[in-house]
Amino acid sequence: MTVCIIPARADSKRISRKNLIDFCGQPLIYWTIKQAKQSRVDKVYISTDDDEIGTIAVKMGCDVINRPANLATDEATSDQVWNHAVKVITEQADIVVGLQATSPLRFSEDIDDMIDKLKVDKLDSVVSVCLEDDLFLWDSLGRQVTFSKIDRKLRGKFYRENGSIYVFKKQVIESPDTGYTRYGQKTGFFVMEDWQGFEIDELKDVEVCEYFMRRNVLREVNL
């Protein structure tokens, strides 16, 4: 059985009640729930401390996990939330899909493809990433910390974790060997388009994400 767990707490440091802001005519959380429901996952859970988010989730056919206050802070990690959720879930799930509501630029097919990759490649976890093929970083002392442009043809490919989708075996998040994280010993990458790596962290990000949502996602699928 494959379950999807979507963390969605009430508040956010930079955007008040971020998961409920208007995004393309619906609350932001709506789109991630819809994508999960249209994928091949067997059941969708919302981990939240907010009654309004819980009401939306129930109306959309999800089960609600009541998140304790200590896991609804800025310091709490997604891994801690997912770990709590899998302990609460009574179904005999073997695969967990973790979706971040603040990264809505995904297709339900992306979720399905990552589940398939986990199974076919016999992996412990799969992480959604974007290719970084033109990234040159310098530290505060003026030292270049990535390859120089002269060496760009010699270096391998680099991938940036985009935070959109995580697929992992349930035993991975429960294991002390992984530090109770989503990353197993055999972790694979699922490469998404560059524009799918945008996420909503600040108000200025909403306009960018809405542009790509309307232009690329809503044009192609019935959400």
Give the mean pLDDT of 168-179.
95
Cβ–Cβ < 8 Å for 137, 62: no
Given this model, what pLDDT does residue 138 score?
A: 76
| Confidence bin at 40 (pLDDT 50/70/90) | very high
Tokens standing for residue 213:
């949502």
The verdict on residue 109 lying in a domain is: yes
Does 147 score more than 70 pLDDT? no
| Confidence bin at 223 (pLDDT 50/70/90) | low
Residues in contact with 69: Cβ distance below 8 Å, sequence separation at least 6, in sequence order: 49
The verdict on residue 41 lying in a domain is: yes
The verdict on residue 150 lying in a domain is: no
More confidently predicted of 154 and 52:
52
Given this model, what pLDDT does residue 150 score?
A: 52
Give the mean pLDDT of 201-206.
94
Given this model, what pLDDT does residue 137 score?
A: 72
The verdict on residue 199 lying in a domain is: yes
More confidently predicted of 148 and 108:
108
The verdict on residue 152 lying in a domain is: no
Phi, then psi, of 212 in degrees rounded to 5? -70, -30
Return the exposure string of 164-186: e unless at least 16 CB atoms fall within 10 Å of the residue's CB, then b.
bbbbbbbebbeeeebeebbbbee
| Confidence bin at 155 (pLDDT 50/70/90) | low
Q: Domain of 209?
A: 2-130+160-217
The verdict on residue 26 lying in a domain is: yes
The verdict on residue 73 lying in a domain is: yes
The verdict on residue 48 lying in a domain is: yes
Question: pTM (2 decimals)?
Answer: 0.91
The total domain count for the chain is 1
Tokens standing for residue 12:
């956010």
Q: CATH code at 194? A: 3.90.550.10
